[in-house]
């Protein structure tokens, strides 16, 4: 082994880790600045991948001093990362004004998110993508085996897998977004200096040839690179949707899925490239077999996933992720190094070829992610899309196998076997695939770009695996409606979340309520509540003239609303470890809520969380944004505002009227039960709460019970009411 290889590999891994840490932090910053649903997130990821490909292509040219360029690019990535924390807030405000977004045109929010992703993510992504061909130009300037290419690519990918886990566990659990970017930028500077020094051991200067190397035939290799990228991205979108349904979109789903995917892919890069036969036909047969194996591994994983019935929730999630997420990426990992090797077998232009093939793969990934999320999921649904992903892998594998085996006798036998597998996929029962989108019996299902909304046979409504409500009534929601009606002024009400529509229906039926505005990003939930199955149970609750639905992200809608617009703002989704809630429930978010409240308006937190760690984290953010807090001990409902929160029991009893008895959820007398259970929180009550570290970050990861061992002080904080 070369003496410089051992110290180089940790730098290659660290460079990969930095790139994925940036991706996670930048996506979080974009969500908080301009809002985003799952479609915008898919587009953001696609833009990031596209930038990597463009960078690999741009920097794949021959450089006289690649070592210097490589070091400067790593340092430039760190500098751009530091600048991004300052640029993004102004970018969000500028784009909102440029697009002329109003409450009436909020449906154009995706255009805003995509524009923000292009402006913010594309420049650093291009630089990050450029590190790959520059690595090859510096440390593998001539012809090398696919074993060496696979080693570099695999170690870089494994480093990325470590980075996607390090971002929440080692950074965002302990420091704010700004310092997290600073630490990661420092790592980039370290890589730049290390590359500069190690590159001198290889060669101070790569000799420039008088004649360029012969052009490689990139047509079919680029097609296969794009095809494998397409298949991999389609697979990843399906995997993310399935795991989100399984675990209620909690904050670790995205890092966990990417970690398993990248670790398996990186292992495949290292292990499956340890092959000495570089004859083109043999390489094409190997590429074909790897694609077919990836598709078959996905089928086997789905079958195993359908058999998983682990009683412990976390174990069920982990086993399901391993079943679905390990096999296909492992086999895909051996394809790109093989394509690079077969393409440069007659040329020394390794960095240029590697960059162009990387661009083809990135283009395939972009179209795979966007096409699956924006088109196939909406038109075909998850089950049919999953079958399509499997057929895509089998078809691409058959094509590569055919190219490599045409000269071999009886080559058609293998092709016949692949066709038989493809036909067999048609006969796999839907019951095997359905756990990907819903677990349990259902009465109705709506799929679309933002996820899956399901009406169960028990009349429960779930969105992306999260229980929203039971129709037509849910006792917990009627209790929370009582707190809204108990406020002295509740003519104008803003609901941040639709649930099952019951709260909006009960409020609209009250004569003293003038308007109910509902903000919810799930377009599938709105369609489900208007479906014949739900309407038959509770009627079309959204048709009431007092109710207005805004299908958008609350973070985007709140700044568009006039200040001091509402008497009451209610939010029921405050579980601290849900990705849909955690990045929303930040200090920045609560400050936007406070802006739209009237001077004596009240924000009501539904108290929908589990454990004191999440409770304390939410109170810490509320205490930073509002002057007064009060907690209702029996229900954990929290009131927040800048005026008096005092209530009169007799007035509350009269305001609720017949609801005290007809709803069947309030202990008698209901007015006294609500008022006596409330307790104001003073400064002395909040002294033990861990302070909020960042206006955007809040406590997105650290409140999750799986990670209590990483941050004991938060979860060991005594509860405020002694529970």
Query: Could you report the per-residue pLDDT of 582-606, keeping only the tens digit for each?
Result: 444 677 788 889 999 999 999 998 8
pLDDT band at 235 (very low <50, low <70, confident <90, very high): very high
- Residue 232: CA count within 13 A, CB half-sphere: 30
DSSP H helices, 308-349, are 313-325, 327-332, 335-343
Q: Is the dihedral of CA 428, 430, 433, 439 positive or negative?
A: negative
pLDDT digits (tens, 9 = 90+) for 641-688: 998 899 999 999 999 988 888 898 998 899 999 999 998 887 666 666
Q: Where are the beta strands (DSSP E) in 164-318?
A: none
Alpha carbon distance 35, 51 (integer Å):
21
Q: What is the pLDDT of residue 204?
A: 46
pLDDT in tens, 22-44: 888 887 777 766 665 566 667 77
Highest mean pLDDT among 103-107, 348-352, 398-402: 398-402
Q: 463 has which bridge partners?
A: 453, 466
CA distances from 326 to 87, 295, 553, 701 (A): 38, 12, 33, 24
Eight-class DSSP state of 215:
P
**Which of 114, 91, 112, 123 has its CA nearest to residue 42?**
114
What does the DSSP assignment read for 489-528?
A: --SEEEEE--TTSHHHHHHHTSTT--EEEEE---HHHHHH
At 415, is the pLDDT very low, low, confident or very high (cuts 50, 70, 90)? low
Whole-angstrom distance, CA of residue 517 vs CA of residue 183: 42
Helices (H) and strands (E) in the chain, counts: 30, 12
How far apart CA 434 and CA 440 sit, in angstroms, is 9
Of the ranges 158-162, 324-328, 412-416, 657-661, which one carries the lowest mean pLDDT score?
412-416
Q: If pLDDT is split at 50, 70 and 90, which confidence band does 360 have?
A: very high
- What 3-state DSSP class applies to 568? strand
pLDDT over 90 at 198, yes or no: no
Can you give the pLDDT at residue 412?
60
**Mean pLDDT confidence for 364-373:** 87
Give the whole-angstrom CA distance, residue 609 versus residue 573. 8
Q: What is the mean pLDDT of the chain?
A: 80
Residues in contact with 269: Cβ distance below 8 Å, sequence separation at least 6, in sequence order: 150, 151, 153, 154, 157, 333, 334, 336, 337
Chain Cα centroid distance, residue 71? 31
Q: What pLDDT, in 10s, does the model give residues 476-533? A: 899 999 999 999 999 999 999 898 999 999 999 999 999 999 998 888 899 999 999 9
Tokens of 492: 């104008």
What does the pLDDT read at residue 686? Answer: 67
CB of 652 closer than 8 Å to CB of 675? yes
């Amino acid at each position: 082994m070369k003496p410089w290889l051992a110290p180089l590999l940790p730098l290659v891994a660290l460079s990969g880790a930095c790139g994925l840490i940036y991706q996670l932090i930048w996506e979080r910053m974009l969500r908080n600045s301009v809002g985003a649903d799952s479609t915008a997130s898919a587009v953001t990821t696609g833009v990031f991948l596209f930038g990597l490909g463009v960078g690999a292509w741009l920097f794949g040219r021959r450089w006289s001093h690649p070592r210097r360029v490589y070091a400067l690019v790593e340092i430039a990535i760190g500098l751009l990362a530091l600048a991004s924390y300052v640029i993004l807030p102004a970018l969000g405000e500028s784009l909102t004004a440029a697009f002329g977004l109003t409450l009436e045109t909020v449906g154009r929010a995706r255009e805003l998110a995509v524009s923000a992703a292009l402006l913010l993510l594309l420049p650093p992504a291009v630089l990050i993508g450029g590190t790959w061909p520059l690595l090859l130009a510096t440390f593998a300037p001539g012809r090398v085996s696919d074993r060496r290419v696979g080693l570099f690519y695999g170690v870089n990918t494994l480093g990325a897998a470590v980075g996607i886990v390090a971002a929440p566990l080692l950074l965002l659990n302990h420091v704010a977004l700004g310092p997290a970017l600073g630490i990661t930028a420092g790592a980039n500077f370290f890589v730049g200096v290390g590359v500069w020094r190690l590159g001198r051991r290889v060669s101070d200067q790569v000799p420039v040839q008088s004649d360029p190397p012969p052009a490689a035939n990139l047509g079919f290799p680029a097609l296969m690179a794009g095809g494998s990228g397409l298949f991999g991205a389609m697979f990843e979108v399906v995997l993310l949707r399935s795991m989100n349904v399984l675990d209620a979109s909690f904050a670790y789903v995205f890092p966990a899925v990417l970690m398993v995917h990248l670790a398996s892919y990186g292992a495949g890069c290292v292990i499956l490239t340890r092959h000495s036969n570089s004859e083109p036909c043999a390489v094409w047969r190997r590429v074909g077999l790897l694609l077919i194996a990836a598709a078959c591994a996905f089928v086997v994983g789905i079958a195993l996933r359908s058999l998983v019935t682990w009683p412990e929730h976390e174990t069920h999630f982990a086993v399901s992720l391993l079943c679905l997420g390990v096999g296909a990426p492992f086999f895909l990992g051996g394809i790109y190094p093989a394509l690079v090797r077969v393409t440069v077998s007659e040329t020394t232009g390794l960095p240029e070829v590697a960059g162009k093939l990387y661009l083809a793969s990135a283009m395939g990934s972009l179209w795979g992610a966007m096409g699956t999320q924006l088109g196939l999921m909406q038109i075909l649904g998850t089950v049919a899309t999953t079958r399509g992903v499997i057929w895509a892998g089998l078809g691409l594998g058959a094509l590569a196998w055919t190219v490599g085996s045409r000269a071999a006798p009886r080559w058609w036998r293998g092709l016949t076997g692949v066709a038989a597998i493809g036909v067999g996929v048609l006969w796999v029962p839907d019951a095997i695939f359905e756990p990907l989108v819903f677990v349990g019996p259902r009465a109705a299902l709506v799929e679309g770009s933002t996820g899956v909304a399901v009406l169960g046979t028990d009349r429960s409504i779930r969105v992306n695996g999260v229980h929203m409500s039971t129709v037509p009534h849910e006792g917990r929601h009627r209790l929370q409606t009582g707190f809204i009606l108990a406020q002295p002024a509740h003519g104008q009400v803003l609901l941040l979340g639709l649930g099952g529509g019951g709260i909006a229906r009960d409020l609209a039926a009250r004569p003293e309520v003038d308007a109910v505005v509902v903000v919810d990003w799930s377009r599938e939930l709105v369609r489900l509540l208007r479906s014949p199955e739900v309407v038959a149970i509770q009627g079309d609750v959204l048709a009431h003239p007092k109710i207005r639905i805004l299908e958008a992200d609350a973070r985007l809608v709140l700044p568009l609303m006039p200040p001091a617009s509402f008497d009451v703002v209610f939010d029921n989704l405050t579980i601290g470890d849900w990705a849909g809630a955690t990045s929303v429930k930040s200090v920045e978010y609560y400050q936007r809520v406070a802006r739209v409240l009237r001077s004596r308006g009240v924000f009501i937190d539904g108290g929908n969380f589990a454990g004191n760690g999440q409770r304390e984290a939410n109170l810490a953010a509320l205490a930073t944004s509002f002057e007064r807090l009060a907690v209702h001990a029996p229900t954990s409902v929290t009131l927040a505002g800048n005026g008096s929160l005092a209530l009169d029991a007799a007035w509350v009893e009269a305001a609720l009227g017949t609801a005290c008895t007809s709803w069947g959820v309030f202990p008698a007398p209901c007015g006294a039960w609500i008022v006596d259970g409330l307790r104001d929180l003073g400064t002395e009550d909040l002294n033990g709460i861990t302070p909020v570290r960042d206006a955007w970050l809040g406590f997105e990861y650290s409140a999750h019970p799986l990670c209590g061992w990483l941050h004991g002080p938060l979860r060991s904080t005594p509860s405020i009411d002694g529970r």
